[in-house]
């Protein structure tokens, strides 16, 4: 009987904690939109955060995108050749990379690199009371720290996704060129022959949503970090895990909405 009461008490506490976290996350989300359109606008800090998110991730995005393009092309060729459809390889790569792989790979890389960095940075500022010091100095820390970082990821990650798609197609072309000897113009014409405006729009919308999610989750976990230096590590880890989970959920939802729209 005592064990039953203990388990019931623990379960009740977990439910209470879940709803408290959901309320805090919702309040954080709403506060962002309230602060985003209020003055002052810290343009220099926004540019600096875009630099941190964009240029510092460029090398990793380039390497990963190129490898994905080469590997996916190598793995896709044998099945297509088996059906006598090897000529469709550029079109397959264009559709796969532009619509799905480019935005998703970029988002997952940035969730690990950028999301953890934001969570650790804001978490360390919270536990060392730097955020409280900004409040005493009449600076709105939420506006300066959170809004600028979320805006930076929302702006920069779509650009990185487009760049990743271009590099992945370049890697695919190099493999096709060495195997088949086709020209770059022919490859890109075939790659984009089946791409429609809606496919590009879907890719951009995905990237914007992913960027906003990464920035928001990283800032939320870091801004509300506790338990000293141990909490900083937890904030960074939770930022990555939560952001990646939400990215996959958003991928499913956006694809279903897109398929529903084009079905009309």
pLDDT of residue 43: 87
CA separation, residue 98 to residues 65, 104, 216 (Å): 12, 10, 25
- What's residue 4's pLDDT? 53
User: What pLDDT sits at residue 110?
Assistant: 92
Q: What is the pLDDT of residue 190?
A: 85
DSSP 209-239: HHHHHHHHHHHHHHHT--SHHHHHHHHHHHH
Using alpha carbons, select from 91, 64, 15, 30 the residue that is nearest to residue 216: 30
- pLDDT tens readout for residues 204-235: 999 999 999 999 999 999 888 877 777 788 88
- pLDDT reported for residue 184: 86
Question: Which two tokens mark 31?
Answer: 């506060």
pLDDT tens profile 107-132: 999 998 898 899 888 888 888 888 88
pLDDT < 50 positions in the chain: 1, 7, 9, 11
Q: Which tokens go with 222?
A: 């870091």
Contacts for 27 with CB less than 8 Å, ≥ 6 apart: none
In angstroms, the CA 70 to CA 212 distance is 29
Can you state the angle between helices 148-180 and 184-191, rounded to 10 degrees? 120
Decide: 68 and 105 in contact? Cβ < 8 Å: yes
C-alpha distance from residue 63 to each of 105, 109, 115, 218 (Å): 12, 11, 19, 24
């Amino acid at each position: 009987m005592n064990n039953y009461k203990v388990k019931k008490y623990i379960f009740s506490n977990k439910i209470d904690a879940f709803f408290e976290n959901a309320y805090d996350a919702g309040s954080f989300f709403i506060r962002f939109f309230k602060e985003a359109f209020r003055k002052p606008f810290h343009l220099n800090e926004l540019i600096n955060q875009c630099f941190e998110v964009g240029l510092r991730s460029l090398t990793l995005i380039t390497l990963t995108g190129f490898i994905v393009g080469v590997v996916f092309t190598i793995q896709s060729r044998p099945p297509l050749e088996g059906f006598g459809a090897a000529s469709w390889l550029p079109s397959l790569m264009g559709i796969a990379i532009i619509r799905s792989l480019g935005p998703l790979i970029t988002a997952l890389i940035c969730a690990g690199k950028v999301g953890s960095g934001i969570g650790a940075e804001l978490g360390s500022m919270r536990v060392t009371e730097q955020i409280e010091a900004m409040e005493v100095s009449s600076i709105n820390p939420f506006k300066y720290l959170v809004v600028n970082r979320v805006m930076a990821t929302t702006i920069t990650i779509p650009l990185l996704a487009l760049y990743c798609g271009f590099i992945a197609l370049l890697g695919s072309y190099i493999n096709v060129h060495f195997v088949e000897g086709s020209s770059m113009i022919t490859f890109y014409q075939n790659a984009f022959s089946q791409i429609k405006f809606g496919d590009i729009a879907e890719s951009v919308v995905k990237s914007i949503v992913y960027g906003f999610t990464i920035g928001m989750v990283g800032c939320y976990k870091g801004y509300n970090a506790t338990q000293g230096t141990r909490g900083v590590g937890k904030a960074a880890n939770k930022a990555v895990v939560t952001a990646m989970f939400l990215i996959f959920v958003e991928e499913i939802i956006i694809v279903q909405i897109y398929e529903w729209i084009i079905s009309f």
